[in-house]
Structure 1
Amino acid sequence: MIFETKRLLVRKLKHSDLEAFYELESNPKVLQYATGEPKNFEESKEDLEQLIKRYDDPTNDFWIYAVENKQNEDFIGTVALIKDEEGNDEIGYRFIERYWGNGFATELCEGLIQYCKSIGMKKLIGCVVDENVASAKILERLNFVAIEKFISDDIGLPETKYELIL
Structure 2
Amino acid sequence: MTHSKLIFETDRLTVRQLLDDDFEAFHEMQSDDIVMRYTTGKGLDEVENRRQLKSCIECYSHSHNDFRVWAIVRKVDQQFIGTCAIVSGEQYPEIGYRFLRKYFGAGYGQEICNGLIHYGINDLKLSHLTAYADTRNIASVKILDKSPLMFVQEIPNDQGAIDYVYRWCR
AA at the equivalent of 1:49:
K
Higher relative contact order (CA 8 A, sep 6+): 1
1:112 alignment counterpart: 116
Contact conserved, 2:152 with 2:165, CA < 8 A, in 1? yes
Q: 1:122-160: CA deviations, max 9, x gaps?
A: 2210011011111111111113221121111x2221111
In structure 1, stretches of 5+ residues that fail to align are none
Q: Distance in 1 between matches of 2:40 and 2:67?
A: 15
Other structure's SS at 2:153 match = strand
Deviates more, 1:135-144 or 1:10-19: 135-144
* Count of matched residue pairs: 164
AA at the equivalent of 2:21:
S
Alpha-carbon distance, 1:36 to partner: 5.8
AA at the equivalent of 1:149:
E
Q: Is residue 144 of structure 2 the alignment partner of residue 139 of structure 1? A: yes
**TM-score (norm. length: structure 1):** 0.93
Deviates more, 1:102-111 or 1:52-61: 52-61
Other structure's SS at 1:2 match = strand
Deviates more, 1:34-43 or 1:67-76: 34-43
**TM-score (norm. length: structure 2):** 0.91
2:77 alignment counterpart: 72
Q: Is residue 81 of structure 2 the alignment partner of residue 83 of structure 1? A: no
Deviates more, 1:53-62 or 1:129-138: 53-62
Aligned equivalent of 1:11, options 13, 16, 36: 16
Q: Distance in 2 between matches of 1:133 and 1:92?
A: 15
Q: Is residue 56 of structure 2 the alignment partner of residue 51 of structure 1? A: yes
Other structure's SS at 2:159 match = coil
Q: How big is the alpha-carbon RMSD for the aligned residues of Structure 1 and Structure 2?
A: 1.3
Alpha-carbon distance, 1:165 to partner: 2.8
In structure 2, stretches of 5+ residues that fail to align are 1-5
AA at the equivalent of 1:95:
F
AA at the equivalent of 2:80:
F
Q: 1:53-109: CA deviations, max 9, x gaps?
A: 0111234321110000111101000001111122x1100000000001100011111
AA at the equivalent of 1:124:
L
